[in-house]
Amino acid sequence: MINASLKELATALGAKQISSVELTQLFLDRINRLNPEINAYITLDADRSLAQAAAADALIAQGKAGPLTGIPFAQKDIFCAQGWRTTCGSKMLENFVAPYDAHIISQFDNAGAVNLGKTNMDEFAMGSSNETSYFGKVQNPWDRARVPGGSSGGSAAAVAARLAPAATGTDTGGSIRQPASLCGLSGLKPTYGVCSRYGMIAFASSLDQAGPMAKSAEDLALMMNVMAGFDTRDSTSLQRDTEDYTRDLNQPLKGLRIGLPREYFADGLDAGVAKVVLDAIEQYRKLGAETVEVSLPNTQLSIPVYYVLAPAEASSNLSRYDGVRYGHRAAEYTDLMDMYCKTRAEGFGAEVKRRIMVGTYVLSAGYYDAYYLKAQQLRRLIAQDFEQAFKQCDVIMGPAAPGTAFKTGEKTNDPVAMYLEDLYTIAVNLAGLPGMSVPAGFSNGLPVGLQIIGNYFSEARMLNIGHQYQQVTDWHKQMPQGIE
């Protein structure tokens, strides 16, 4: 069961081959055995999970089951879930119990799914390695000495280690696609506004987007049918007709035009990763696709633009954590200002403090025009690059990350090297486009992801492209050793 797809699990549940309670207990037992080392989960509540499973079994018995009813999912600890501790990987929220559900959580609850637990993450989603979490680093199941990627590293490690059939993640600059690549998973960052951000703890509001992480593109499509949808409580949520993201999965790829950005295959890309990606693209040619070279000339500007805009938004969003209403409060202080200072000094980690200071600086008088405003102008140019590219192709393909999973601690003292991990993913968020990573092979025994970038609202087509590739390859079925 641990390797079954979501559709296979639904079939088994419907046929009474296994109950949701039994399935949930199977994964809880695996979590109890493997999580102490991998550290993929922050919070578990077995009684609550099993109660949800029992309720799902009742729905199945009544013939009221949906496609995901009774299936357990891991939820990134950035989503508020009523009655669950919700920490966002930070000491600041170490003991915070959410009084309400995020829209994404409600959607899974309404679908009859089971919440297995809350997964580890970089603190406030700030990081590319899952080493900034207050609750400790996450280990990559493919090599315990390496990182799983971030910030959704806990979700990625949980699915890779078969501690959950699938999981939710969030992507601000690549935080679904990069860990999916490093852990051998499929992961989708939808078009900005397709999934509600209500109840998703904010990092950079104009960039954050929830998305699914699973073993296959077909699993992603089933999750998107639950996660996507309009929500009046989120002002950035888009009001669109309901989509069936599985509708195009079996469409042939003949005539598909794939754009290959020359900037994605230049200096900085590991040779082993490049070979895997090019081999995957060759497989697409065999499936009937054609390739064309395109250019995204402002790609190199995406990282400096992101690290002006994202910290600016973070400094604003994180100003609410001051010890007054909720979260950590310093034990000793002399006055209100002292309480603010000590609470934030104690509650935030080094990376969060770094980004708050950068963000406050670029928004300050005298620097706003020079940095923040200029970055917004460049963001528009980056989006225009994609507009021009999509006049020549249907999707863009390239690497999801410049290398494979790096060793724990290798880049913690070099923030710039860490930031460069998101070189190929950040521009997608700046433009608000959908992006996906699918397993494409291995380099030196470590997984490599192929990134597929689509035009706005082309998720169903992208999932079709990923699914067709996975019909002729088995990279997505590979499992790390030692986790049986």
Give catalytic residue positions.
76, 151, 175
Contact 449, 200 (CB under 8 A): no
Contact residues for 331 (Cβ-Cβ < 8 A; gap 6+): none
Which residue from 139, 146, 138, 213 is spatially nearest to 174, judged by alpha carbons? 213
CA distance 159 to 84: 21
Contact 216, 476 (CB under 8 A): yes
CA distance 46 to 254: 48
Which residue from 111, 74, 335 is spatially nearest to 213, judged by alpha carbons? 74
DSSP 173: S
CA distance 126 to 361: 18
DSSP 138: P
At 383, give phi and psi (nearest 5°): -65, -40
Question: Per residue in 365-404, is it b (16+ CB within 10 Å) or e — as a string?
Answer: eeeeeebbeebeebbeebeebbeebbeebbbbbbbbbbbb
Strands 446-454, 395-399: pairing kind: antiparallel
Peptide bond before residue 151 is cis, with ω within 30 degrees of 0: yes
CA distance 69 to 110: 9
Contact 42, 93 (CB under 8 A): no
Which residue from 156, 79, 90 is spatially nearest to 348, judged by alpha carbons? 90
Q: Torsion angle, CA of 364/365/367/368, rounded to 10 degrees?
A: 80
- Which helix (H) or strand (E) element contains residue 397? strand 395-399
